[in-house]
Amino acid sequence: MNKYINISKNFLKKRPQDITLKLDSEFIYLPLSTTSKILFNPGKVLKKETIIAMNSTNIPLITPVSGVFLGIKEMPNYENKNIKTLVIKNNYKEETNKKIASKRNLSKYSKEVILLIIQRLNIKTNKDKNLFQEIDREPKKIYINALCDEVNNYNNEFRLLHNKDLILETISALNTIFNLEESDLLIKDTSSEVISVYKEFLGSFPNINLHLIKDVYPISRYEVLSKYLLLNNKDLVINLEDIYKLGYALKRQRFVTEKLLTISGPVVLDPHIYELKIGTKLSEILNINEIKEKYDIWINNYLEQNKLLMDDLIIDDNVNALIITDKNLSLPKPCNNCGICYTSCPIGLNPKKLDQKEINEKCLKCGLCSYMCPCNILIHKKEVEIHE
């Protein structure tokens, strides 16, 4: 049974030209976890990178701009839910507490210090475990996941091209400090520009392999990737963006306060990758209501079918791409029992049984079954009744 599906790219328009800086948000909204303790009162003027709140496991919430802390406001998140956020009004001064010289050689960090930084950054492995615990269990190898399942999302490709030195130096430092034999950088076999650039530079990093992965959906998910690569329990998979955040913190001794957001899709004539302050609201970049009158906006991945339903959206670490399509691309018809949804599920579930709790809990919500369904039924969303 073929479990690897090559997604048609016929709704792909074109690749963005470059990263567009959009760092002048007037207000920043930082999602607050239920266990967080706020460390300042409203009205306080804060410098950039101040720890404004701390959760119960000592993970800090950092202000990405300098400005006035206005208080708490409910704002929409990537799950179309209103959540509590801390609001900061940007004073555009970009004042920071400290200026520390860049670290020249990342391999000189001690294991203890690097573990503390990994813990502070709350970096997870693809098994959703804490990296600072997993990496201390002496893995032989780490895999850097630079794969992305949404064909219109170019964040990883641009991150790899724009921050090549920092990424390679960080992976190499992890290899040295944690005595790893080697590490694999996982890149799709269709990313020709990235492949040619990295092939040229990897000669200086003999313990980093360029590992090309078949461009199939949804290969970036740990559940699919681990079977494809035959990973064992000791193998660690770390997302590319986390390697970048770690490298940035080690090199500059500061937190990353910006993030990448791709806005693309079949109706977007001029796709963009924006570099934004974390916590920017989408309405500062797009005229959402005007777009929603004619088009649908999908959060992160078109196949997952997570449509933007609210009037705004906070761009935090959970939002990486927005795909804009025509409304109602195709209307559903009754199920014809063809079984394609079942044979296409990458982890062997029967999507027609997703109403059973134990099956639903295993589902990746990747949307491949719905994409493959000839009757356009959104099986994984259960929005349409399936007629037997």
Could you list the residues that contact ligand SF4 (CB under 6 A)?
A: 335-341, 345, 347, 349, 351-352, 354, 363-369, 373-375, 377, 379-380, 386
In whole angstroms, give the CA distance from residue 192 to residue 206. 21
Is the CB of 55 or the CB of 350 nearer to ligand SF4?
350
C-beta of 257: minimal distance to ligand SF4 in Å?
34
Task: Give the C-alpha distances (Å, rounded to integers) separating 119 from 102, 133, 242, 297.
Answer: 21, 9, 12, 34
The owner of tokens 């720890």 is 51
| Smallest distance from ligand SF4 to CB 356, Å | 11
3-state secondary structure of 193: helix
Minimum distance, C-beta of residue 151 to ligand SF4, in the bound complex (Å): 16
Q: How far is the CB of 4 from ligand SF4 (least distance, A)?
A: 12
Q: How far is the CB of 345 from ligand SF4 (least distance, A)?
A: 3
CB of 166 or CB of 386, closer to ligand SF4: 386
CB atoms within 10 A of CB 8: 9
In whole angstroms, how close is the CB of 60 to ligand SF4 at the nearest point?
A: 34
Residue 149: how many CB atoms within 10 A of its CB? 23
**CB 91 within 8 Å of CB 66:** yes
Nearer residue to ligand SF4 within complex by CB, 210 or 378: 378
Q: Are 291 and 324 in contact (CB under 8 A)?
A: yes
| Smaller CB separation from ligand SF4, 112 or 388 | 388
Q: Are 14 and 27 in contact (CB under 8 A)?
A: no
Choice between 247 and 346, CB closer to ligand SF4: 346
| Cβ-based nearer residue to ligand SF4, 315 or 372 | 372
Helix (H) or strand (E) holding 45, with range, is: strand 45-46
Nearer to ligand SF4, 77 or 370 (CB): 370
Identity of the residue, 205 or 371, whose beta carbon is nearer to ligand SF4 in the bound complex: 371
- Measured from the CB atom, is 85 or 306 closer to ligand SF4? 306
Smallest distance, ligand SF4 to C-beta of residue 382, A = 11
Report d(CA 77, CA 230) in Å as an integer: 35
User: What minimum distance in Å lies between the beta carbon of 336 and ligand SF4?
Assistant: 5
Report how far Cα 281 is from the mean position of its chain's Cα atoms: 17
Closest CA to 317 of 333, 300, 295, 296: 300
Q: Distance between CA 159 and CA 241 in Å, rounded?
A: 8
Cβ 224 to ligand SF4, closest distance in Å? Answer: 9
29-41 core/surface letters (b: 16 or more CB in 10 A; e: else): bbbbeeebeeeee
Q: How many C-beta atoms surround the C-beta of residue 304 within 10 A?
A: 22
Q: Is the CB of residue 184 less than 8 Å from the CB of residue 141?
A: yes
